């Protein structure tokens, strides 16, 4: 033991001495390697990286990628390691990734984008356990050259980089491209060289869209993978399969090349994973989470494989008694015992369970972190589905587990990894289905998330009740229902008064009620973490977070600290309301007078989110002599007209949900003024896809304006785009509507 201790002390002294000298040596080695990389890259690439001309059809583009290549190589070698337990071997892996891009700069926007390269220069996570060193290093080399319009070239001096982070083992850099001008060509590269001894590391999935922000004349991606490595690949939405071969060392070579790729337009309400061509690659050595075995390539999708893995996972959870039944004791206490629960309607049990898990899985406040960023999390739907399902079975409530893909990811038959699958519970309840989902904290019991609506889904059913279950599944997918526009509603009532001293300053008293899929966004933004935690606690008879700390002598002292943190967050909540107003009207209020959460929307008996705000606003009223012009349509919020370039569409339309947005404005007209322009507001645009209706009337000194727009479905074929444009144009035109307040003579 003394000998080991002496070795450690001696090693520490040696390392301390060497560190003083090591920095200069490391920098010298880095520069030498940077020069080697530069020579290697500038001498490769071939004809595509000699191109200087842009095709005429791309002359007006902000930039054109003349050539782009990404090359990934890896290798593995056995290294002798000395440890306390004697000599042994470890596998040292090397990963080299090279990105090179040659870009023609056509305007100032592109010039601004490409004038600086930012990168992580050096990361060294090498660690030691006694005398054994575990290597993990990451180095980045960058280079660039500029080709001027007269053909002259100059290479950017990489030594002029600025280190934005400069720690002993972690450096980040930024390299400015001097003298880059519109009309020039920038040819740059980024090489990343990693060395690691973590053999179980999974690389990817790396997704390669066949198109980008700019047109691409030549695009090549090549992976050269060690023969001990395996890879999973998939090519989607019309992308040609990735070519596979072997080199002279029997390494795996995966490659694709594309030419003349136009700029990829991603229009509003679209789904990249289903509508645009792309490749995806995932790879690793033995122990990595991939489908392929070492030395092989497997082509996706892998739907059946991951469905089986998930069923096996659930089987093991039950067989090895890993399902958490701890909820049953507090639930039975809440309802007066298990015997009393037999008299309860199943809804009572389902609602309690749902609220309990929302409370227990919501991130704890007792660590004094009360930020409402917690609201953006979700529950582990894999574990929650089997847990909820098994607890329900303990109370004789029959149910199944549903496997589905988010409608903004790939389809059910296009699964590449387990993360593509989400799970929830389907309860067969009084002849109807009740859905229990776990993808956020703000859906209600029985509410099917909009991300699943209209999707094909697989149902797996547990057979038998013993601890050695078997899960069977439906032969054909089921089609999940789509909620109606009347179930997803935003209803706003706004009272408007002109300032007595300043007619151009409006006081707006706004009440908002949101239901269904229209409430989650504002719940996440406006509710504090304390309101969420304590809101769910109240539904299941639990104490608030502060009361919980006060109830225990060991934590009582922390209660005051938590209350202080909560009070500070309450002050921050005012900013959350200001941000919501800005998001609605594209400007902040001059003053936020008051704000209030009226109903949190958690209880199934009243599943609506309600809040109120009172604030003052400028820029809605213009003075015209003795008269005033009110931008009445702007009270609905911003709604921009679809630009001309986006009015032609080639892909189907994926909207968040079928929905209705309705607004009622009660505008108090000051004494001494008459109103003109009401007739211009009365309008109706309606078709079988959507509708927009607006009305205006006056009763005494109150002008009441209503506006309502409805989208009948969450999905429309591209053939209905023109019908949606009709309604969207009508809504945009409404925001331009004005009222003239004319001074009485």
Residue 83 in tokens: 């440890």
192-210 exposure pattern, b = at least 16 Cβ within 10 A, e = fewer:
bbbbbbebebebbbeebeb
Check whether 82 has a pLDDT greater than 70: no
Single out the residue of 398, 419, 389 nearest to residue 323, CA to CA. Answer: 389
- Cα-to-chain-centroid distance, residue 432: 33
Distance of alpha carbon 534 from alpha carbon 488, whole angstroms: 26
Single out the residue of 528, 513, 508, 266 nearest to residue 374, CA to CA. Answer: 528
Check whether 88 has a pLDDT greater than 60: no
- Does an H or E element contain 153, and which? strand 153-155
Distance of alpha carbon 236 from alpha carbon 276, whole angstroms: 8
Distance of alpha carbon 156 from alpha carbon 113, whole angstroms: 17
Q: What pLDDT sits at residue 123?
A: 64
pLDDT tens digit sequence for 90-104: 678 999 999 999 999
What is the maximum alpha-carbon separation in the chain?
Answer: 105
Residue for token pair 């053939």? 719
Phi, psi of 308 (to 5 degrees): -65, -40
Check whether 7 has a pLDDT greater than 50: no
Specify the 3-state DSSP secondary structure of 471.
strand
Distance of alpha carbon 213 from alpha carbon 646, whole angstroms: 15
Residue 563 in tokens: 């209350």
Check whether 143 has a pLDDT greater than 50: yes
Q: What pLDDT sits at residue 624?
A: 97
pLDDT tens digit sequence for 613-659: 999 999 999 999 999 999 999 999 999 899 998 999 999 999 999 99
Phi, psi of 56 (to 5 degrees): -60, -30
pTM to 2 decimal places: 0.90
Bridge partner residues of 269 (DSSP): none
Distance of alpha carbon 140 from alpha carbon 265, whole angstroms: 32
pLDDT tens digit sequence for 558-576: 999 999 999 999 999 999 9
Single out the residue of 731, 727, 714 nearest to residue 652, CA to CA. Answer: 714
Single out the residue of 119, 96, 98 nearest to residue 45, CA to CA. Answer: 98
Single out the residue of 679, 689, 682, 676 nearest to residue 726, CA to CA. Answer: 689
Q: What pLDDT sits at residue 79?
A: 52
Residue 533 in tokens: 């935690």
Single out the residue of 506, 497, 490 nearest to residue 666, CA to CA. Answer: 497
pLDDT tens digit sequence for 360-401: 999 999 889 999 999 999 999 999 999 999 999 999 999 999
């Amino acid at each position: 033991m003394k000998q080991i201790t002496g070795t450690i002390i001696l090693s520490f002294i040696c390392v301390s001495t060497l560190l003083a000298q090591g920095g200069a040596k490391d920098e010298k080695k880095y520069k030498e390697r940077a020069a080697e990389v530069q020579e290697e890259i500038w001498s490769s690439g071939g004809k595509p990286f000699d191109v200087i001309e842009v095709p005429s059809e791309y002359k007006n583009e902000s930039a054109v990628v003349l050539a782009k290549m990404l090359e990934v190589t890896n290798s593995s070698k056995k290294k002798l390691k000395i440890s306390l337990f004697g000599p042994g071997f470890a596998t040292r892996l090397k990963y080299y990734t090279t990105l090179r891009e040659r870009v023609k700069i056509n305007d100032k926007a592109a010039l601004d984008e490409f004038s600086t390269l930012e990168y992580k220069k050096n990361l060294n996570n090498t660690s030691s356990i006694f005398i054994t060193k575990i290597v993990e290093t990451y180095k980045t080399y960058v280079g660039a050259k500029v080709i001027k319009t007269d053909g002259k070239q100059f290479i950017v001096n990489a030594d002029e980089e600025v280190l934005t982070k400069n720690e002993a083992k972690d450096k980040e850099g930024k390299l400015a491209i001097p003298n880059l001008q519109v009309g020039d060509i920038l040819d740059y590269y980024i090489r990343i060289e990693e060395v690691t001894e973590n053999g179980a590391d999974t690389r990817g999935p790396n997704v390669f869209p066949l198109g980008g922000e700019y047109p691409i004349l030549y695009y090549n991606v090549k992976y050269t993978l060690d023969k001990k490595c395996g890879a999973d690949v998939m090519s989607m939405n019309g992308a040609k399969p990735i070519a596979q071969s072997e080199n002279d060392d029997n390494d795996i070579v995966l490659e694709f090349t594309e030419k003349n790729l136009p700029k990829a337009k991603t229009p509003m309400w679209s789904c990249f994973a289903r509508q645009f061509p792309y490749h995806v690659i995932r790879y690793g050595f033995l122990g990595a989470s991939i489908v392929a075995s070492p030395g092989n390539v497997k082509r996706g999708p892998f739907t059946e494989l991951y469905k089986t893995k998930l069923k096996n996972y659930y089987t093991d959870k039950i067989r090895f008694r890993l399902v958490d039944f701890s909820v049953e004791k507090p639930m039975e206490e809440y309802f007066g015992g298990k015997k009393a629960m037999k008299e309860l309607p199943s809804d009572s049990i389902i609602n309690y369970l749902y609220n309990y898990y929302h409370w227990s899985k919501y991130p704890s406040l007792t660590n004094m972190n009360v930020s409402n960023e917690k609201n953006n999390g979700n529950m582990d739907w894999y574990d929650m589905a089997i847990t909820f399902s098994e607890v329900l079975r303990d109370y004789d409530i029959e149910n199944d587990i549903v496997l589905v893909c988010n409608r903004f990811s790939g389809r059910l038959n296009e699964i590449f990894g387990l993360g593509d699958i989400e799970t929830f519970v389907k309860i067969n309840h009084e002849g109807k289905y009740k859905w229990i989902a776990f993808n956020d904290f703000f859906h209600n019991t029985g509410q099917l998330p909009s991300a699943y609506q209209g999707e094909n889904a697989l149902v797996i059913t547990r057979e038998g009740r013993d601890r050695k279950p078997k899960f069977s599944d439906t032969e054909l997918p089921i089609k999940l229902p789509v909620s109606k526009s009347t179930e997803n509603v935003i209803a706003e009532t706004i009272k408007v008064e002109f300032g007595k001293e300043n007619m151009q300053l409006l006081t707006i008293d706004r009440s908002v009620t949101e239901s269904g899929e229209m409430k989650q966004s504002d719940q996440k933004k406006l509710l504090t973490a304390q309101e969420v935690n304590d809101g769910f606690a109240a539904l299941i008879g639990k104490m608030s977070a502060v009361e919980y700390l006060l109830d225990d002598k060991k934590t009582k002292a922390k209660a005051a600290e938590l209350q202080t943190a909560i009070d500070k967050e309450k002050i921050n909540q005012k900013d959350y309301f200001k941000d919501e107003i800005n998001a609605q009207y594209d400007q902040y209020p001059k003053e936020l007078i008051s704000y209030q959460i009226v109903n949190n929307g958690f209880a199934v008996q009243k599943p609506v989110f309600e809040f109120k705000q009172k604030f003052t606003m400028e820029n809605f009223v213009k003075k015209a002599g003795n008269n005033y012009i009110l931008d009445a349509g702007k009270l609905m919020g911003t709604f921009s007209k679809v630009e001309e370039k986006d009015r032609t569409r080639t892909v189907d339309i994926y909207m968040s949900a079928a929905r209705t947005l309705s607004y009622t404005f009660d505008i108090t007209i000051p004494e001494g003024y008459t109103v003109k322009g009401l007739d211009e507001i009365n309008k109706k645009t309606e078709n079988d896809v959507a509708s927009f209706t607006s009305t205006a009337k006056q009763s005494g000194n109150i002008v009441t304006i209503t506006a309502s727009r409805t989208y009948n479905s969450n999905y429309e074929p591209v053939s209905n785009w023109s019908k949606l444009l009709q309604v969207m144009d009508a809504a945009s035109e409404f925001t331009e509507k004005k009222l003239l307040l004319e001074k009485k003579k």
